[in-house]
Amino acid sequence: MTYTKMIAMKNIACSCEPRAQFERHEPADGLLAQRCPKCRAVVLALQDYLPWIERHDSERPAVNPSHLPGRETLSKARLCPSCQRVMARYRTGDADSFWLDFCPPCGVVWLDAGEWEQLEQSGLASYLDIILTERWQKDIQSRRVASFRDDLLRERFGAEFPEILRVRDWLGRQARRRDILAFLAESLSEKAAQGEPFVITRAGKPLVKEAQ
């Protein structure tokens, strides 16, 4: 087995300390990587990771990225230890998960101390190649947008929100939902025409002040 295919990283020091040369490290059985002896950051090359994952593909555990434990890492931008350019950031999961730093041209992943262990605990250590795809990132993004929208609606409708969702789901199951909606809109506007004030509200307060 070759030491590592990361030829471009030979003799490159970690950014934590100019003299801290990366050392050979095996985060998992048969997986070659490099680690900084000072800050314990782990640097993985996709060329080393992909053959390893191919051997373990059948063992990938099922994961649910919306329920991953984790923490938000808000460290400053990372420089690729190989080419010294700013690394791109990839979310590992939804709200509480952390970011992976990755340099696409070099195919190098940067993991802060403890992050590999965290990936292992959440079953994601065998998903790095998938996490780094546009599809995974887009899915996370759309779930975040949906949850943000739900929060706004919850704030807008307050205690009524669960009932609104129940009615919406019920309507969604009706074959004649367009008819039902048209009927409701019509009868509610008739009610409004009969003198009952029809006020658009936000969080229980009228959006527009009624004329005195």
> Quick check: 33 binds Zn ion (CB under 5 A)?
no
CB of residue 78 to Zn ion, shortest distance in Å: 10
Instruction: Please report whether residue 125 would count as binding Zn ion according to CB under 5 A.
Output: no
Torsion 63-66-72-73 (CA) sign: positive
Site for Zn ion in 38-57 (CB under 5 A): 38-39, 41
- Near Zn ion by CB under 5 A, which window of 105-113, 139-147, 153-161, 170-178? 105-113
The Cα–Cα gap between 106 and 62 comes to 29
Closest approach, Cβ 205 to Zn ion, in A, equals: 53
Listed in sequence order, the residues at least 6 apart from 59 whose beta carbon sits closer than 8 Å to its beta carbon are 126
Nearest distance, CB of residue 15 and Zn ion, angstroms: 7
Give the contact letters, 67-96, x = binds to Zn ion (CB under 5 A), - = no.
Answer: -------------x-xx-------------
Strand spans (E) along 14-146: 23-25, 33-35, 42-45, 88-91, 99-103, 108-111
State in angstroms the smallest separation of the CB of 98 from Zn ion: 18
- Minimum gap (Å) between residue 129 Cβ and Zn ion: 17
Give the relative orientation of helices 134-157 and 161-172 as an angle to the nearest 10 degrees: 120
- Which H, E and C letters describe 80-115, residue by residue? CCCCCCECEEEECCCCCCCEEEEECCCCEEEECCCH
- Nearer to Zn ion among residue 21 and residue 66 (C-beta): 21
Is residue 9 involved in binding Zn ion (CB under 5 A)?
no
Gap between the Cα atoms of 126 and 161, Å rounded: 39
Chain centroid to CA 76: 18
Decide whether 32 or 43 has the Cβ nearer to Zn ion. 43
Residue 140 within binding range of Zn ion, rule CB under 5 A? no
- Binding window for Zn ion (CB under 5 A); candidates: 20-28, 92-100, 186-194, 203-211: 20-28
Instruction: Count CB atoms within 10 A of the CB of residue 62.
Output: 5
Contact positions toward Zn ion, by CB under 5 A? 14, 16, 20, 36, 38-39, 41, 80, 82-83, 103, 106
